Amino acid sequence: GDEVKRARDMKEEPNLTSREILMAVEETPSFFDFLAYMNFAGSSISGPWLEYKDLMQLYRKEGHYKNID
């Protein structure tokens, strides 16, 4: 859908890695989503070790997290 189209559009930017394209944030996070990311237990101990987009997919059970029970 839209994520694939955006990734395709971003591929034209030669300085982006495939990981940067995959983890690109398409929309400005809400205050509470950003706060959740900044205060995530794992991140508060060792710094942000999850990408913002990855953490939001985990919370919302989207992407490769959609089959987690």
Nearest partner of 19 among 53, 63, 66, 42, judged by Cα: 53
Neighbours of 44 (CB within 10 A): 10
The model carries a pTM of 0.60
| Mean confidence (pLDDT) of the chain | 78
Q: pLDDT by residue (tens digit) across 50-65?
A: 788 888 888 889 888 8
Do 25 and 48 contact (CB within 8 A), yes or no? no
Q: What pLDDT, on the 0 to 100 scale, is given for residue 58? A: 86
Distance CA 32, CA 21 (A): 24
